[in-house]
Amino acid sequence: MRHLLGTPQLSRDEAIQILDTAAQMAATQEREVRKLPTLRGKTVVNLFFEDSTRTRISFEAAAKRLSADVINFAAKGSSVSKGESLKDTALTLQAMGADAVVVRHWASGAPQQLAEADWMHGHVINAGDGTHQHPTQALLDAFTARRHLVADPDGKGLDGLKIGIVGDILHSRVARSNVWLLTTLGAEVVFVAPPTLVPVGIDGWPVTVHHGLDEAIEAHDLDALMMLRVQRERMTGGGSAFFPSPEEYTRLFGLDADRLGRLPEHAIVMHPGPMNRGLEISAEAADSPRSVIVEQVANGVAVRMAVLYLLLAGEESAA
Amino acid sequence: MTGTLLGAPDISRALTRIAHEILERNDGADSVVLLGIPTRGLPLAERIARKISEVEDGFDASARCGALDITMYRDDLHKQPIRSIGTTSVPSVGIDDQVVVLVDDVLHTGRTIRAALDAIKDLGRPRAVQLAVLVDRGHRELPIRADFVGKNLPTSRSERVDVHLTEIEGEDAVILTNGRGGDDA
C-alpha cells in the first residue's frame, strides 16, 4: 500500500491488516507512556483545504504518538488563499521533505491527483475529499463495530453483520467510504434516507435502501446503526430544500429511545460527529450505553496510527 | 557442524537449568516476572514459568508471564518490508519494582534486546532486567550479554540458527544450516 485514497481500492486482507494493527495501537494507548518511537525522523504534513478540527487533531495526535514531526498547513490565510495551485503547494511540501501528506480537500479527487501526479514523493492519505471518500473514518467505524460485534476479532472481518447508515447519503463521503469497506469485510449495508438524499446511480451499489427508519428496523435485524450528520442549513427552505422541515426529518429518520429499544439488544449506535442532538439523534440515544460515539473518537487515533505505521514504517520502495 | 544441534530433551534440560538459575540468582521467585519476546520467546517464557512454578509454591505461572512485542522499537524498520505488530501483554502484577526476565530464542546481534529495553522503559520501571536465551550464537553488535544461556553455539555469520518449538512448528529442535546472511535475532 503506497497511498490511502479510498476504500474501494482496499482488499479484504489490507483492510484486516489495518484493523489488526489498529488494535495493537489501541492497546499501546492504555499505557502510562503512550508515545512510541516508531516514526522518529518522519514528517507528516496535514494539508487542509477545508476546516475540520476533529479530523486534523486526530491525525495530529496519531502522528505525534508515533514520534513523527507534524506540520499543519491550513489553506485559510496561507499561500493557497493567495491563489497558489495544488501543484505548487505539492512542490513546496516536497521541498520541505514531507514523508506523508494528509489531505482534506473540498474537491472530490484532489488527493488522487496529488498521489498520481509526479509532484512529490510522499505518501498521500485522503482525509476527506468533496462528496467522494473519507477512508480513515470508514476504517474507524469498521474497527469500532468489529470490536463490539465480533468475538475474538483479531484477523477477522465483519462477516454476516448488518449495518444501517441513516441520513444524508447524497452528500456523504462517510457513507460512500463505508459502503465499500463494510461490503469488502463481509457485512451487509442498509441505507435509510429520504428519496431526495439518495444519490443517482445507487442501483449499482451493494445496498438495500429504505425511506423510513421504522421500516428499516422492522425489515432487518440491524447489528449497528450509523447516524449521519444533517447539515441543517443546507437542508430546508428555499427552492433547494431536500426535506420539508427538520421536525419531519426527525420524525421519520431520527433515532430516539423508542426506536433504539426496537433494535436487537446487542446493536450499537455510531455517529461520525459532530452530532445535532434533537435532529438526527436524540440525547437519550446519544448518551445511552449502546452508543459508542465517544469511543469512535479514541479509535480514530488508533486507526490513523495504524495507517501511518503501515505507510511510513517499511522500507522505501522505488515506486 | 550443521544439522540438529539440540533435540527436545536437550531443550527441556536447558530450560530447567535456566529456571533454577533464575531462582538462585533472585533468591526465589517472589518478584520475578517473565516477558517473552514474540514469536518464539513467548512459549519459552511460558515453559520456564511452568518449571519455576513446579518448584516454587505460590508462583502463579500465568499471572507472572507476559509478552513484549518490540516491532515498533526496532532500529531497522525502514530497511525491511512492513512487519505486522504483535501483542504485548503485561502480567497482572505489572513490572514496576519487579525483576523482569526477558526471554528470547536466539541472542545474536543484540539489537532485539536493545529494542526490548526501550519497550520496557515505556511500560514501567522494573527493579532489574535480566536476559534469558535458549541459544547464544555470538556476533554481538551492541554491548549486551545474557544472564542465563541454554547453549552457547559458536557460529559463523553466514550460518543460520533456527529454533523450532512444539507450540509453533510442532517439534522441539535447534537447527544450524549454511544460509546466506544470518537472521537478526
- Note the pLDDT tens digit of each residue in A31-81: 888 899 999 999 999 999 998 999 999 999 999 999 999 999 887 767 777
Q: What are A197-209's pLDDT values in tens digits?
A: 999 999 999 999 9
Q: Answer yes or no: do A128 and A195 share one domain.
A: no
State how many domains chain A has: 2
Determine the residue of chain A that is closest to B81 in CA distance: A314
Instruction: Identify whether the C-beta of residue B6 lies closer than 8 Å to the C-beta of residue B151.
Output: yes
Together in a domain, A191 and A257: yes
The residue-averaged pLDDT of B59-84 equals: 92
From the CA of A23, how many Å to the nearest CA of chain B?
9
Q: Do A31 and B122 touch (CB under 8 A)?
A: yes
Residue B12 pLDDT: 97
Q: Is the pLDDT of residue A227 over 50?
A: yes
Do A286 and A139 share a domain, yes or no?
A: yes
ipTM of the complex: 0.84
Check whether A11 has a pLDDT greater than 50: yes
Computed over every residue of chain A, the mean pLDDT equals 93
Indicate which of B70, B71, B75, B77 best probes the interface with A, i.e. most A CBs within 10 Å of its own CB: B77
pLDDT of A235 over the 80 cut: no
User: Does A120 reach chain B within 8 Å, measured CB to CB?
Assistant: no
| Residues A152 and A214 occupy one common structural domain | yes
What number is the average pLDDT over the span A266-274? Answer: 96
Nearest CA of chain A to the CA of B146: how many Å?
25
Nearest to A244 by CA among A312, B43, A252: A252
Q: Are residues A164 and A190 in the same domain?
A: yes
User: Residue B83: what pLDDT?
Assistant: 87
pLDDT digit string, tens, across residues B1-31: 689 999 999 999 999 999 999 999 999 999 9
In this prediction, what percent of chain B has a pLDDT beyond 70? 96
Reference B135, options B114, B161, B115; nearest CA is: B161
Let me know whether A272 and A302 are in one domain.
no
The model's confidence at residue A171, banded by pLDDT at 50, 70 and 90, is very high
Nearest to B71 by CA among A150, A132, A28, A60: A28
DSSP string, B13-36: HHHHHHHHHHHHHTTSSTTEEEEE
Calpha distance B13→A265 (Å, rounded): 54
User: For residues B32 and B101, is the Cβ–Cβ distance under 8 A?
Assistant: yes
* Summary mean pLDDT of chain B: 93
Candidate from A93-97, A225-229, A268-272, B70-74 with smallest mean pLDDT: A93-97
- Residues facing A70 on adjacent strands: A44
pLDDT band at B182 (very low <50, low <70, confident <90, very high): very low
- A114 and A140 housed in the same domain: no
Q: How confident is the model at residue A118 (pLDDT cuts 50, 70, 90)?
A: confident
Inform me whether the C-beta atom of residue A35 falls under 8 Å from chain B C-beta atoms.
Answer: yes
Q: Do A27 and B88 touch (CB under 8 A)?
A: yes
Whether A30 and chain B come into contact, CB under 8 Å, resolves to: no
Q: Which of A5-19, A25-39, A261-275 has the lowest mean pLDDT?
A: A25-39
**What CATH number did the domain enclosing A142 receive?**
3.40.50.1370
Fold type of domain B9-155: Rossmann fold (3.40.50)
Q: B79, A313: Cβ pair inside 8 Å?
A: no
Whole domain around residue A54: which residue ranges? 12-133+298-312
The whole-number pLDDT of residue A236 equals: 66
CB pairs under 8 A between A and B: 53
**Residue written as cell 554491548?**
B143
Residue entry with cell 482525509: A127
From A241's Cα to the closest Cα of chain B, the distance in A is 49
pLDDT digits (tens, 9 = 90+) for B97-145: 999 999 999 999 999 999 999 999 999 999 999 999 999 999 999 999 9
C-alpha distance from residue A13 to each of A27, A136, A311 (Å): 21, 16, 15
pLDDT above 50: residue A318? no
* Predicted pLDDT at A83: 76
Please check whether residues A107 and A185 belong to one and the same domain. Answer: no
Instruction: For residue B72, give the nearest of A305, A67, A38 by alpha carbon.
Output: A38
Considering the domain architecture, whether residues A307 and A287 belong to the same structural domain is answered as no
Task: Tell whether A244 is covered by a domain.
Answer: yes
Do A158 and A259 lie in one domain? The reply is: yes
Q: How would residue A30 be classed by pLDDT, with cut points 50, 70 and 90?
A: confident
Q: Cβ(A36)–Cβ(A49) under 8 Å?
A: no
Contact criterion met (CB < 8 Å) for B72 and A37: yes
Q: Does A142 share its domain with A86?
A: no
In chain A, which residues have their Cβ closer than 8 Å to the Cβ of B122?
31-33, 35-36
Report whether pLDDT(A121) > 80: yes
pLDDT over 70 at B184, yes or no: no
- What residues pair up with B132 in beta bridges, in sequence order? B103, B148
* Interface contact A241, partner B, CB < 8 A: no
Residues A144, A284, single domain; the answer is: yes
Q: What integer pLDDT is reported at residue A173 of this predicted model?
A: 95
Tell me the pLDDT tens digit for each residue of A288-301. 999 999 999 999 99
Please report whether residue A287 resides in a domain. yes
Side-chain-side CA neighbours of residue A308 (13 Å): 36
